[in-house]
């Protein structure tokens, strides 16, 4: 059975455009909830034994410490505290107060599990380098695909394959950022360096999936008796099962990490799940249709 994916490109491209616009609006109105890695500050994770304090008890115990932007996040077996101060004095003051809270309870004790402190200038530098890394990846992808498809010059120039892949990747990034803008606004999910690592991983996954489709197009073009549109549609159909199976198997593993893994890796797994889903979609319903649209526009101009 041959699915008429390319023939229905207007629907898929319109849907993708609307999703991208919705993501842009979410970013404009809500932005991203940047975490300690980018804004600067401290993250302290502690574990209580024989006692699980409430958020209110933690906040009350720290009233004597001059903290700004304090966020208390209970997990299954620990308490995560975020605050803007990044000095060792603030770190020790918070620990002292929490130890006093534990000491006030019978047989209770406290253990420091994790502490990260990032200065504001370092946070800005990390943010700048993260966005630069993504930009460099875009450029390298265009160069690589243009070189890999240099022998495929008809009816679409090889560099256009690279641009089509980048259009799909931009759609992927906008979708991921839009989802995390919503999650950050309503659920307080933060953007930290693991998120950037997840985005870069998704870029590699998505472009790999797109290249597999493009490679099948390259194989079919010289021997196909059909026009460019139908050749691409047949190529997409020949690779769609492989793309979906790979996506589903990867997602199942990530879902297990999301529900059963540690709290520090859950946001990373969530970003990968969202990215793999949208990356599979874009490689099938965006990258290849863009080639057909570009070819049609070129023909009309001639």
pLDDT tens digit at each of 302 positions of the chain: 788 999 999 999 999 999 999 999 999 999 998 887 787 788 899 998 888 888 899 989 998 888 877 888 888 788 988 888 878 888 999 999 999 998 888 888 899 998 888 776 666 777 788 778 888 888 888 788 778 777 665 677 778 888 898 899 999 999 999 999 999 999 888 888 888 889 889 988 998 999 899 989 888 888 888 889 999 999 999 999 999 999 999 999 999 998 887 667 888 999 999 999 999 999 999 999 999 999 888 888 76
> Nearest to residue 82, comparing CAs of 131, 21, 37, 50?
37
> Nearest to residue 285, comparing CAs of 224, 220, 225, 240?
240
Q: Is 302 helix (H, G, I), strand (E, B) or coil?
A: coil
Q: Could you tell me if 252 and 287 lie in one domain?
A: yes
Give me the pLDDT at residue 26, please.
Answer: 96
Q: Could you tell me if 153 and 280 lie in one domain?
A: yes
Q: In whole angstroms, what is the distance from residue 221 CA to residue 231 CA?
A: 7
Residue after which a domain boundary falls, among 118, 148, 168: 118
Q: Could you tell me if 156 and 110 lie in one domain?
A: no
Q: What secondary structure letter does DSSP report for 68? A: S
User: Is 45 a member of any domain?
Assistant: yes
Give me the pLDDT at residue 121, please.
Answer: 62
Q: Could you tell me if 273 and 130 lie in one domain?
A: yes
CB 148 within 8 A of CB 211: yes
Q: Could you tell me if 106 and 80 lie in one domain?
A: yes
Task: Please give the distance of CA 206 from its chain centroid, rounded to a whole number.
Answer: 12
Q: In whole angstroms, what is the distance from residue 237 CA to residue 196 CA?
A: 32
Q: In whole angstroms, what is the distance from residue 182 CA to residue 185 CA?
A: 5
User: Is 108 a member of any domain?
Assistant: yes
Residue after which a domain boundary falls, among 76, 101, 118: 118
**Which position has the token pair 């985005």?**
199
Q: In whole angstroms, what is the distance from residue 47 CA to residue 28 CA?
A: 38
Q: Could you tell me if 281 and 180 lie in one domain?
A: yes
Q: Could you tell me if 223 and 99 lie in one domain?
A: no
Q: Could you tell me if 60 and 72 lie in one domain?
A: yes
Q: Could you tell me if 272 and 246 lie in one domain?
A: yes
Residue after which a domain boundary falls, among 83, 118, 153: 118
User: Is 1 a member of any domain?
Assistant: no
Q: Could you tell me if 129 and 16 lie in one domain?
A: yes
Q: Could you tell me if 196 and 60 lie in one domain?
A: no
**pLDDT tens digits, residue range 100-143?**
998 888 888 899 998 888 776 666 777 788 778 888 888 888 78
As given in the structure block, the two tokens for residue 3 are 């699915």
CB atoms near residue 142 (< 10 Å): 16
Give the chain's domain count: 2
User: Is 260 a member of any domain?
Assistant: yes
Domain that holds residue 278: 6-36+122-301
CATH number of the domain encompassing residue 111 = 3.30.70.3400
Residue 52 has φ and ψ, to the nearest 5°, of -125, 100
CATH number of the domain encompassing residue 211 = 1.20.1640.10
User: Is 237 a member of any domain?
Assistant: yes
Q: Could you tell me if 61 and 98 lie in one domain?
A: yes
User: Is 165 a member of any domain?
Assistant: yes
User: Is 281 a member of any domain?
Assistant: yes
Question: pTM for the whole thing?
Answer: 0.82
As given in the structure block, the two tokens for residue 186 are 């309503």
């Amino acid at each position: 059975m041959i699915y008429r994916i390319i023939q229905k490109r207007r629907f898929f491209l319109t849907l993708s455009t609307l999703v991208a616009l919705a993501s842009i609006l979410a970013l404009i109105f809500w932005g991203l909830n940047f975490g300690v890695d980018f804004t600067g500050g401290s993250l302290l994770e502690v574990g209580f034994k024989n006692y699980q304090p409430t958020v209110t008890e933690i906040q009350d115990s720290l009233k004597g410490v001059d903290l700004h932007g304090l966020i208390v996040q209970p997990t299954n077996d620990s308490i995560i505290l975020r605050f803007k101060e990044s000095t060792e004095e603030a770190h020790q003051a918070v620990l002292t107060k929490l130890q006093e809270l534990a000491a006030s309870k019978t047989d209770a004790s406290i253990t420091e599990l994790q502490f990260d402190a990032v200065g504001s200038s370092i946070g800005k530098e990390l943010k700048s380098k993260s966005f630069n890394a993504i930009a460099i990846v875009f450029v390298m992808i265009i160069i690589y695909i243009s070189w890999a498809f240099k022998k495929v010059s008809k009816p679409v120039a090889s560099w256009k394959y690279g641009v089509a892949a980048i259009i799909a990747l931009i759609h992927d990034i906008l979708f991921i950022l839009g989802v995390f803008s919503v999650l950050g606004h309503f659920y307080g999910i933060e953007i930290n360096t693991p998120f950037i690592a997840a985005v870069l991983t998704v870029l590699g996954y998505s472009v790999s999936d797109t290249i597999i489709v493009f490679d099948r197009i390259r194989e079919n073009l010289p021997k196909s008796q059909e026009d460019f549109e139908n050749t691409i549609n047949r190529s997409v159909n020949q690779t769609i099962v492989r793309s979906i199976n790979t996506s589903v198997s990867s997602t199942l593993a990530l879902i297990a990490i999301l529900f059963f893994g540690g709290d520090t890796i859950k946001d990373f797994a969530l970003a990968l799940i969202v990215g793999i889903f949208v990356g599979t979609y874009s490689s099938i319903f965006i990258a290849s249709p863009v080639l057909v649209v570009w070819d049609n526009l070129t023909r009309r101009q001639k």
